Structures are given as structure tokens and as C-alpha cells.
């Protein structure tokens, strides 16, 4: 009876029928996130200037009609650099974070709802992963397989799985002890149903909050990898490396360093705003009392 018995499809929850009503901070977050995604997808082809063109302008030039965000330490157009960087940051960081969080959550659900031996094996395996210094792991992986975007995504995802797993498991173990899970077990439900239908909806909110935090870490990890020369390879650059390579503009407060920093801030704040205001959360909290 441990396999999931095929049953009729779940009826679509009624709440889905009407448009999700979200508060304005959530909508703002969604708008900013969509804007950056759009920039990453179609931005470079719309740009008049090429981010790798050093041109004839000054280095660290101020904001002007020609260079909307000034120029960087080699005289390249900053706006073009930021928009090209969006592809790496939004793409690599977001995908890696999603992969890390979802893998961690699924493994945690499996561990929480399974026999103690499987839980123990999984947890110790994840502990082993935690004990490897993350930068060293990245170094080895890049050295072995070369630096490419899929490689970077995979590396960042592996590094951040243990944290997500730990949090999700501790939440899931508590939910697993609840009477409604016991009721589902006595009904004869399979493990997959208990994992996905009974436990997951009750841990999804804290896991989403964790995802927002983890996203910031991944952006920082990618930036530090780029600094070591292991991340996105020059002349391409993610936002983290743009901040790093234009650090010389800091004393003069040039746009070259402020622009990518603001870009990182806007993206992370937008992701967190969106997550905190997802519909369903408010409904559930409002349902109590």
C-alpha cells in the first residue's frame, strides 16, 4: 500500500478561478522582476550600443545623453553592460536558487515522510556536502568540467541544497507529526500524496521566504566566483562582477558602480516583495480566528 493509488484528478480549487488578488507591494515586486527578465531576454538586441565596444569615451564617464549610465573602467557603456549582465544574474542566480530550494524541499519531504533509515542516510549525505567548503567545491567543479553557464548553475545549486534541505526537513518533521497526516496514513494514502498534498502546502510559505534569502546568497556567490575568475568569463559579466570590476569608481561615486549595485538591490527586493505578498498566504492567515 505504499505506492500511490491512481485516483480521479483533484478538482481545481475554486480560489484559482478568480484572478489572484495581490497587494500593491507584491505587484510592484512582480513588475520589477518581469522587467528584469524581459531585459535579460530581449534587452541586448534592442540596445544601440554593444557592451564590449570600448568606444572613444572616457573611463568612468558621468551620466550623459550618449551613455545613460556613464561608462566603466574601460570606457564601455554601462547601460549595455548592466542589461547584458541581467542575463547572467537573473538567469543563473534565479535558476540556481529555484533548483537548490526545490531539490532541498523535495528531499526533505521524502526524508520526513519515510522510514528512519532513509531519513538518516539522506541527512548524513547532505551533512557531508555541507562539510565541503563551498568555494573549494566550486573550484574543483570548474577545474574538472570547465566554466560554462550550466556548470555555474549546477555548482550554485549543489552548494545551496543543504541549507534548504535542513530548513525544509525541520518544518516537515513537525507537520508530519500532525494528526491530519496520521489520518491520511490511516486512510492508506501513499507517500507521494502525503508529501505533496498534506505536508508541502503547510511548509511552502517559510520555504518561499527562505528562497528569497537564498537568492541573495547565490548572487553573492556568483560575484565572488567571477572575482576568482571561475564564474562568468570576461568580457561578459554578471552584476556582481560589474560591481567588483568597477570598484575604482567608488571614491568618485561614479554611476559605473552604483548602477549594478542598484540593479542587484532592486532584483532582490523585488523577489522578496513578491514572495511575501503571494496570494494564499494572506488568505490562510486571515482564515485563522
Asked if residue 180 lies in contact with residue 171, where contact means CB atoms within 8 angstroms, the answer is: no
152-185 in b/e form (b: 16+ CB < 10 A) is bbbbbbbbbbbbbbbbbbebbeebbeeeebeebb
Of 82 and 194, CB closest to another protein: 194
Query: How far does Cα 95 stand from its chain's mean position?
Result: 6
Under rule CB under 8 A, residue 136 binds another protein? no
Under rule CB under 8 A, residue 202 binds another protein? yes
Of 179 and 253, CB closest to another protein: 179
Among 72, 77, 84, 189, binds another protein (CB under 8 A): 189
Shortest distance, CB of residue 212 to another protein, whole angstroms? 20
Under rule CB under 8 A, residue 77 binds another protein? no
Helices assigned H by DSSP within 116-246: 116-131, 134-145, 149-176, 179-187, 191-193, 200-227, 239-245
d(CA 198, CA 245) in angstroms, rounded, equals 48
d(CA 257, CA 259) in angstroms, rounded, equals 6
C-alpha cell at 80: 549595455
Shortest distance, CB of residue 287 to another protein, whole angstroms? 3
Of 176 and 241, CB closest to another protein: 176
Query: Considering only 58-66, 92-100, 129-137, 177-185, which stretch makes contact with another protein by CB under 8 A?
Result: 177-185
Under rule CB under 8 A, residue 180 binds another protein? yes
Among 20, 120, 133, 201, binds another protein (CB under 8 A): 201
C-alpha cell at 7: 485516483
d(CA 78, CA 61) in angstroms, rounded, equals 10
Under rule CB under 8 A, residue 116 binds another protein? no
What part of residues 17-56 is at the interface with another protein (CB under 8 A)?
A: none
Give the interface with another protein as residue ranges (CB under 8 A).
1-2, 5, 7-11, 13-14, 178-180, 182-189, 197-198, 201-202, 283-284, 286-289
Amino acid at each position: 500500500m505504499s505506492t500511490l493509488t491512481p485516483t480521479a484528478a483533484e478538482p481545481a480549487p475554486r480560489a484559482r478561478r478568480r484572478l489572484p488578488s495581490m497587494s500593491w507591494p507584491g505587484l510592484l515586486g512582480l513588475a520589477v522582476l518581469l522587467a528584469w527578465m524581459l531585459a535579460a531576454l530581449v534587452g541586448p538586441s534592442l540596445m544601440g550600443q554593444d557592451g564590449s565596444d570600448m568606444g572613444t569615451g572616457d573611463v568612468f564617464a558621468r551620466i550623459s545623453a550618449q551613455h545613460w549610465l556613464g561608462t566603466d573602467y574601460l570606457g564601455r557603456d554601462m547601460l549595455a553592460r548592466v542589461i547584458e549582465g541581467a542575463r547572467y544574474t537573473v538567469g543563473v542566480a534565479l535558476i540556481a536558487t529555484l533548483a537548490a530550494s526545490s531539490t532541498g524541499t523535495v528531499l526533505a519531504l521524502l526524508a520526513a515522510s519515510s522510514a528512519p533509515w532513509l531519513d538518516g542516510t539522506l541527512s548524513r549525505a547532505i551533512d557531508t556536502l555541507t562539510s565541503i567548503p563551498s568555494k573549494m567545491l566550486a573550484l574543483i567543479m570548474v577545474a574538472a568540467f570547465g566554466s560554462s553557464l550550466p556548470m555555474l548553475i549546477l555548482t550554485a545549486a549543489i552548494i545551496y541544497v543543504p541549507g534548504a534541505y535542513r530548513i525544509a526537513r525541520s518544518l516537515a518533521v513537525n507537520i508530519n507529526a500532525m494528526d491530519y497526516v496520521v489520518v491520511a496514513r490511516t486512510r492508506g494514502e501513499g507517500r507521494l500524496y502525503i508529501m505533496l498534498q498534506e505536508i508541502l502546502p503547510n511548509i511552502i510559505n517559510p520555504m518561499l521566504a527562505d528562497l528569497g534569502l537564498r537568492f541573495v546568497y547565490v548572487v553573492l556567490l556568483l560575484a565572488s566566483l567571477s572575482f576568482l575568475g571561475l564564474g562568468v568569463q570576461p568580457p561578459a559579466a554578471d552584476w556582481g562582477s560589474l560591481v567588483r570590476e568597477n570598484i575604482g569608481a567608488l571614491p568618485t561615486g561614479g554611476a559605473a558602480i552604483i548602477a549594478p549595485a542598484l540593479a542587484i538591490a532592486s532584483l532582490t527586493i523585488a523577489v522578496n516583495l513578491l514572495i511575501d505578498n503571494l496570494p494564499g498566504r494572506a488568505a490562510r492567515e486571515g482564515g485563522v480566528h
